[in-house]
């Protein structure tokens, strides 16, 4: 195996799903609206307030008591996740390719039940994944708390302001038995993803400068920063404004073959060669594809996929961050849907 690392987020770069959003919609009445409100609250805590000890992706902690209150079980989460894995076009082939070419890992904020389901679908080694651990059976909650959590869910959906949300999540629930359930969830997002990347670097003994990291959201800010600071490759795949802001390279595509091409180049050349390819592609895609040493089968597949379609966009973020963010968000919502695509 080559002395290089390929590390990717899951939801966005590989799958269309936002599993937690979908679980909320399945188990909780008005659950999609509820999740969106809590997710926006999460974004504010991370990006604007920068609350100490709070990390991007902790939405997945905050919603767990409510999943429990509405009767979700570990097995039901597993069953639902297995039935609803939806991959971005090309993701299966991309994972197969990178796992043969490079030391490959998935670092995701998603619950372990979903990541296991995705690995079962794609045959990606589950032992090469990092994820959020959740056990809905770890702490029972009584009937009185269950009723109160349902009341709080209604209050949130009806338009609770920021101060009310703060009181719910940082004062009231922590005093409940449900607070133990919430605190038992260890999210892998933001700083947690960076720690996972650092753990991979340590375990493999491969230098941080050999990391290619692919992300798309606010939970990828820290690992993208880590890759950039160590002269690795920080890549946004249909990223939102948070990911674009921290990435060096923006990929805007409805198919993951672009990731395959960048990983192929990463496996054989240094980062400067890849930056050169991206610059050349942004100037004239067809000339760049023919002049840089992309594996012939990949090149042929790329041309076949996009024969009658607009070519995907690959660009250095510094060249036009504002325009790239706009186009990336448009593609993100097209691929993942308005509701999921608009989440942080």
The string of DSSP letters for 24-77 reads: HHHHSTTHHHHHHHHHHHHHIIIIII--TT--TTTHHHHTHHHHHHTT--HHHH
Model pLDDT, residue 177: 95
DSSP 306: T
DSSP state of 318: G
* pTM > 0.85: yes or no: yes
> DSSP label at 312?
P
**Cα distance between residue 307 and residue 305, in whole Å:** 6
H/E stretch holding 212: strand 211-215
d(CA 55, CA 144): 30
Residue 1: what pLDDT? 52
CB-based contacts of 48, cutoff 8 Å, min separation 6: none
Q: Mapping DSSP to helix (H, G, I), strand (E, B) and coil, where does residue 111 land?
A: strand
Helix (DSSP H) and strand (DSSP E) numbers for the chain: 19, 7
Q: Look up tokens 């840089």; give the residue.
A: 292
**Tens place of pLDDT per residue across the chain (344 aa):** 579 999 999 999 999 999 999 999 999 999 999 999 999 999 999 989 999 989 888 999 999 999 999 999 999 999 999 999 999 999 999 999 999 999 999 999 999 999 999 999 999 999 999 999 999 999 999 999 999 999 999 999 999 999 999 999 999 999 999 999 999 999 998 899 999 999 999 999 999 999 999 999 999 999 999 999 999 999 999 999 999 999 999 999 999 999 999 999 999 999 999 999 999 999 999 999 999 999 999 999 999 999 988 999 999 999 799 999 999 999 999 999 877 767 76
What is the CATH architecture assignment of 5-12+91-130+190-341? 3-Layer(aba) Sandwich (3.40)
Domain boundary assignment for the chain: 5-12+91-130+190-341, 19-87+134-183
Domain 19-87+134-183 carries which CATH code? Answer: 1.10.3870.10
Spatial distance between the Cα atoms of 56 and 190, rounded to a whole number of angstroms = 5
- Between CA 247 and CA 227 the distance in angstroms is 9
Are 317 and 252 spatial neighbours (Cβ–Cβ below 8 Å)? no
Q: How far apart are CA 109 and CA 21, in angstroms?
A: 12
| Distance between CA atoms of residues 116 and 118, nearest Å | 5
d(C-alpha 171, C-alpha 257), whole Å = 47
Quote the CA–CA distance of 184 and 74 in Å, as a whole number. Answer: 14
Q: How many residues does the chain have?
A: 344
Task: Return the closest-CA partner of residue 132 out of 120, 115, 148.
Answer: 115
- At 87 the three-state DSSP class reads strand
- 19-87+134-183: same fold as 5-12+91-130+190-341? no
Two structure tokens written together for 296: 């012939």
Dihedral class, residue 238 (left if φ above 0, else alpha if ψ from -120 to 50, else beta): left
Tell me the CA distances in angstroms from 181 to 23, 63, 77, 174, 177, one per residue in order: 17, 10, 16, 9, 7
- End-to-end C-alpha distance for the chain, whole angstroms: 35
């Amino acid at each position: 195996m080559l002395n290089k690392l390929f590390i990717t987020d899951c939801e966005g770069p590989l799958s269309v799903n936002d599993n937690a959003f979908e679980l909320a919609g399945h188990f909780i009445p008005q659950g999609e609206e509820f999740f969106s409100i809590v997710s926006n609250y999460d974004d504010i805590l991370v990006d604007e307030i920068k609350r100490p000890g709070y990390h991007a992706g902790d939405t997945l902690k905050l919603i767990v008591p409510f999943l429990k209150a509405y009767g979700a079980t570990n097995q039901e989460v597993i069953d639902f996740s297995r039935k609803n894995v939806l991959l971005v076009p090309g993701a299966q082939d991309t994972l197969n390719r990178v796992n043969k070419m490079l030391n490959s890992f998935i670092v995701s904020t998603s619950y372990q039940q979903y990541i296991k389901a995705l690995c079962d679908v794609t045959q990606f080694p589950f032992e090469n994944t990092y994820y959020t651990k959740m056990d809905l059976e770890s702490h029972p909650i009584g009937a009185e708390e269950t009723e109160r959590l349902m009341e709080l869910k209604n209050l949130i959906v009806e338009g609770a302001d920021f101060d009310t949300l703060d009181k719910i999540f940082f004062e009231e629930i922590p005093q409940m038995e449900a607070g133990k359930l919430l605190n038992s969830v260890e999210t892998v997002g933001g700083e947690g993803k960076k720690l996972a990347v650092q753990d991979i670097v340590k375990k493999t003994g491969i230098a941080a400068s050999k990391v290619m990291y692919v992300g798309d959201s606010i939970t990828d800010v820290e690992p993208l920063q880590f890759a950039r600071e160590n002269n690795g490759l920080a890549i946004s795949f249909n990223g939102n404004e948070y990911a674009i802001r921290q990435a060096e390279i923006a990929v805007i595509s409805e198919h993951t073959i672009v990731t395959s091409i960048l990983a192929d180049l990463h496996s054989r050349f240094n980062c400067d060669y890849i930056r050169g390819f991206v610059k050349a592609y942004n100037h004239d895609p067809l000339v760049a594809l023919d002049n840089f040493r992309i594996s012939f089968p990949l090149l042929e597949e790329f041309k076949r996929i996009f024969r009658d379609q607009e070519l995907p966009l690959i660009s250095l973020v510094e060249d036009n961050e504002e325009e790239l963010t706009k186009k990336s968000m448009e593609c993100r919502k097209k691929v993942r849907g308005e509701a999921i695509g608009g989440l942080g």
